[in-house]
Amino acid sequence: GAVVSQHPSWVICKSGTSVKIECRSLDFQATTMFWYRQFPKQSLMLMATSNEGSKATYEQGVEKDKFLINHASLTLSTLTVTSAHPEDSSFYICSARWSGGSNEQFFGPGTRLTVL
Amino acid sequence: QKEVEQDPGPLSVPEGAIVSLNCTYSNSAFQYFMWYRQYSRKGPELLMYTYSSGNKEDGRFTAQVDKSSKYISLFIRDSQPSDSATYLCALPSGYSSASKIIFGSGTRLSIRP
């Protein structure tokens, strides 16, 4: 159990276009989902905390108008990178925390974004 | 000072060796400690978690916490090439489901056959 999926697993796009990444908890409900970005050989950097039915909370330095987060249901959160630029190329990982209150976060497999 | 410090490595050891991975933290409010393993181009997976000072063992893995020194360790016995990955310590900032997790920078481990 406790599977989190991401779609797509990789995407290549042109500079200036927008890309949407989906994060789904397949077998549990997640009140809270988290979005991370990871550059090569670096650790995960939290971008935002996504709460179902409310606005996401962004970390300092993360542009909320550039990284749009929607958490419309207890099993789905989406991250849209708007007007992507090459410096946005990274590995984007989501995680979901079970609504039952466990501290464990279940991570998705990640989405590799390459902006040309 | 970072909230969590972790030596990024890389660390390379021969197969069968005992591996010691460590993190230090600055905030004594952290009460819950986790270790994640991340293979290349994959999401992290939880290896172990512990609440209290002392040791917790799970197969070849032992998590050790010393709250007085704010020092946590992960030991891997009889290391295998399949253990080659990046290991991240992780400390939740609270007990609610919305609490952030503070990750260490990760230590890249390579086990030589």
pLDDT per position in chain B (113 positions), as tens? 678 999 888 999 999 999 999 999 998 888 889 999 999 888 999 899 888 888 999 999 999 999 999 999 999 999 999 999 999 999 987 766 567 888 999 999 999 99
| Nearest neighbour of A103 by CB, restricted to B43, B95, B108 | B95
How confident is the model at residue B83, as a pLDDT? 97
CB contact under 8 A, A112 and B96: no
How confident is the model at residue A79, as a pLDDT? 97
How confident is the model at residue B29, as a pLDDT? 83
CB contact under 8 A, B34 and A99: no
CA distance A95 to chain B (A): 9
B98 → chain A, closest CA residue: A32
How confident is the model at residue B89, as a pLDDT? 95
Residue B69: Cβ-neighbour burial (10 angstroms; 0-12, 13-18, 19+): exposed
How confident is the model at residue A99, as a pLDDT? 67
B92 → chain A, closest CA residue: A103
Contact partners, residue A74, CB within 8 Å, separation at least 6: A25, A29, A30, A31, A52, A99
User: Maximum distance among all alpha carbons in chain B?
Assistant: 42
How confident is the model at residue B2, as a pLDDT? 76
How confident is the model at residue B100, as a pLDDT? 82
CA distance A15 to chain B (A): 23
How confident is the model at residue A84, as a pLDDT? 96
Segments of chain A scoring below 70 in pLDDT: 1, 99-103
Instruction: Please tell me the distance from the alpha carbon of residue B102 to that of residue B99, in angstroms, as a whole number.
Output: 10
Which residues in chain B are contacts of A34 at CB distance < 8 A? 100-101
